[in-house]
């Protein structure tokens, strides 16, 4: 039986690789969970197919699901030790399971380390393949679902779903590995290795996650893939994962912030904190959906809050609402097309001309009725990464990760273009 599976797997793998006229791109919805502030996506898996709710972890290594809770599928196959699937996932370990065989518990399978960044826990899991399907898209609406009959993922124990939004059964890790969905789907369906996130700013309407090239159209006919600004993706040579092998790089998305401005004021910052220390992996800036608000090393945080407070010296401050420290009476702040009227926070990138501007809608959060707080949090004195750009700052911005060109494109607030991430037309045209 085992040898039969061994011979069958490569066949399935290659037949899906060579499928002609594949989809142009794929799309899945993104929702915001109001209780945990996690962003969730929906993907279909197994035979017969069921819909999975998965939390999105931008820098995660693989897609993993809880296989302890009645995993039923006729197309589930564990990855046999030392097979090509194991090497694709970077696993050379070989595991046994001392209970009756079922998905997640097989002998002679390679082990991997699924991680839940929301509770900072990783554990061992079984590498496996199963059918996975997503809607194809021309960039405007979802159309026919397409299926990868042997999508490589990780089976994790149920306890790893602790801390996830109600209904979430695993995590879609979108990191820079060969097996995370962006690269795996691009290889299977022959489109370019890029994907784009457009996170919703409200729990009431879905944003969109695209795999493959643009256009990325939002009603009324705004292509958010146009006029993106690009910045190089940087490599952190030291893994930031919970479990890793020596010499393994980080699979997260690092970019090079070189300065921060509040309005026209350049913040005094310790520049060492802004660069990645190649030996220790400390420092630098990454983008993450595992934190709800941008998290800054303490001295950067203090520099930002004092410049912001000075710029808003005339506005009535009110008692802080944790975890925020700088809060205002909303009545004192005007309102603009891009949210509360406050100075922009600019993350200056590879040159003075390339900066990521964060306007009121992405810098001020209504922490309590009538109270708007600066939506950045203090990450402590010695965080691994000095600046972690979090979910709130990404909402209603389209962010494209182009892995072939190692760059990140960002749109600035779509509110400027009179649309939002919740305006993708999810009415299927198929
Ligand atoms: C794995 O093999 C061991 C013996 O080596 C056996 O006790 C166990 O039941 C097997 N587990 C599975 C899941 O087949
Ligand atoms: C700047 O940050 C680095 C890294 O944390 C630290 O070693 C150094 O002492 C800091 N410099 C100043 C002037 O605070
Ligand atoms: C603050 O108020 C003072 C006096 O009312 C005024 O002169 C100053 O321009 C105001 N500053 C800002 C930043 O609005
Ligand atoms: C959304 O897409 C559907 C299917 O293509 C189409 O019938 C409908 O008119 C679109 N809605 C809008 C508002 O454009």
Check if 34 has its Cβ closer than 6 Å to any atom of ligand 2: no
Cα 135 to ligand 2 centroid, rounded to whole Å: 48
Task: Tell me the ligand closest to 2's alpha carbon.
Answer: 1
- 229-410: which CATH topology? Cathepsin D, subunit A; domain 1 (2.40.70)
Q: What is the pLDDT of residues 13-70, one digit of tens each?
A: 444 444 457 899 999 999 999 999 999 999 999 999 999 999 999 999 999 999 999 9
- 84 Cα: distance to centroid of ligand 1 (angstroms): 23
Q: How far apart are CA 196 and CA 135, in angstroms?
A: 15
Taking the centre of ligand 4 as the mean of its atom positions, its distance from the CA of residue 428, in whole angstroms, is 8
| Angstrom distance (rounded) from CA 378 to CA 240 | 19
2-216 matches 229-410 in fold:
yes
Distance 309 CA to ligand 3 centre (A): 13
Give the orientation angle of helix 181-189 with respect to helix 2-17, to 10 degrees: 70
- 430 in contact with ligand 4, CB cutoff 6 A: no
Confidence check: pLDDT of 7 > 60: no
Tell me the best of 272, 273, 275, 300 to mutate to test the pocket of ligand 2, counting ligand atoms within 8 Å of each CB and taking the most.
272
pLDDT of residue 243: 87
The fold of the 2-216 domain, in CATH, is: Cathepsin D, subunit A; domain 1 (2.40.70)
Res 13: pLDDT: 42
- Ligand approaching nearest to the C-alpha of 315: 3
Domain assignments of the chain as residue spans, ordered by start: 2-216, 229-410
Cβ–ligand 2 distance for 272 under 6 Å, the answer yes
Report CA(99)–ligand 1 centroid distance (Å).
7
Q: Residue 306 class from Cβ within 10 Å (0-12 exposed, 13-18 middle, 19+ buried)?
A: middle
pLDDT of residue 21: 72
Of 97, 108, 126, the one to substitute when testing ligand 1's pocket (max ligand atoms within 8 A of C-beta) is 97
Give the confidence band of 4 by pLDDT, cuts at 50, 70, 90.
very low
In this structure, the residue with its CA closest to atom 3 of ligand 2 is 272
- Mean pLDDT over 381-401 rounds to 98
d(CA 394, ligand 4 centre) in Å = 26
Measure 137 CA to ligand 4 centroid, in angstroms: 13
Q: How many CA atoms lie within 13 A of 376 on its CB side?
A: 26
Give residue 430's pLDDT.
66
Ligand 1 pocket (Cβ < 6 Å) reads 96-98, 101, 105-107
8 Å CB contact between 398 and 196: yes
Q: pLDDT tens digits, residue range 60-113?
A: 999 999 999 999 999 999 999 999 999 999 998 998 999 999 999 999 999 999
pLDDT tens-place string over residues 214-269:
999 999 999 999 989 999 999 999 999 988 888 999 999 999 999 999 999 999 99
Q: What is the DSSP string of 109-139?
A: B-EE--EETTTTEE--EEEEEEEEEEEEESS
Q: Given ligand 2 and candidates 268, 270, 273, 282, which is best to mutate, with the most ligand atoms within 8 Å of its CB?
A: 270
Gap between the Cα atoms of 223 and 227, Å rounded: 9
């Amino acid at each position: 039986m085992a040898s039969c599976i061994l011979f069958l797997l490569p066949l399935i793998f290659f037949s899906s690789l060579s499928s002609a006229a594949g989809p142009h791109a794929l799309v899945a919805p993104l929702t915001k969970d109001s209780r945990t502030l996690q962003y969730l996506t929906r993907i279909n898996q197994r035979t017969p197919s069921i819909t999975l709710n998965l939390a999105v972890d931008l820098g995660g290594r693989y897609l993993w699901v809880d296989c302890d809770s009645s995993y039923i599928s006729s197309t589930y196959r564990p990855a046999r030790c030392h097979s090509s699937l194991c090497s694709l996932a970077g696993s050379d370990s070989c595991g046994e399971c001392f209970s009756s065989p079922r998905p997640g518990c097989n002998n002679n399978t390679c082990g991997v380390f699924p991680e839940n960044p929301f509770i900072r826990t990783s554990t061992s899991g079984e590498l496996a393949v199963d059918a996975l399907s997503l809607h194809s898209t021309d960039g405007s609406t979802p159309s026919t679902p397409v299926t990868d009959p042997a999508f490589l993922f990780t089976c994790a124990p149920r306890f790893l779903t602790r801390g996830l939004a109600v209904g979430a059964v695993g995590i879609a890790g979108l990191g820079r590995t060969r097996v995370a969905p962006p690269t795996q789907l691009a290889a299977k369906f022959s489109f370019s290795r890029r994907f784009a996130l457009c996170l919703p700013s409200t729990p009431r309407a879905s944003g969109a996650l695209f795999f493959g090239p643009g256009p990325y159209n939002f009603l009324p006919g705004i292509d958010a893939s146009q006029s993106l600004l690009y910045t190089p993706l940087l490599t952190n040579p030291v893994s930031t994962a919970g479990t890793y092998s020596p010499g393994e790089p980080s699979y997260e998305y690092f970019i090079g912030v070189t300065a921060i401005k509040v309005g026209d004021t350049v913040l005094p910052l310790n520049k060492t904190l802004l660069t990645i220390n190649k030996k220790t992996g400390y420092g630098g800036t990454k983008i993450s959906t595992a934190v709800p608000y941008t998290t800054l090393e303490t001295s950067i945080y203090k520099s930002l809050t004092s410049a912001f407070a000075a710029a808003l010296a005339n506005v009535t401050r009110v008692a802080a609402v944790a975890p925020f420290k700088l809060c205002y009476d909303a009545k004192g702040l005007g309102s603009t097309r891009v949210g509360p009227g406050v100075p922009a926070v600019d993350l200056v990138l590879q040159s003075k001309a390339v900066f990521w501007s964060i306007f009121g809608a992405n810098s001020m959060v209504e922490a309590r009725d009538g109270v708007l707080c600066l939506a950045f949090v203090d990450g402590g004195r010695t965080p691994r990464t000095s600046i972690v750009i979090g979910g709130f700052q990404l909402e209603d911005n389209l962010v494209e990760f182009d892995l072939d060109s190692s760059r990140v494109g960002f749109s600035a607030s779509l509110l400027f273009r009179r649309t939002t991430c919740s305006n993708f037309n999810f009415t299927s045209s198929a």
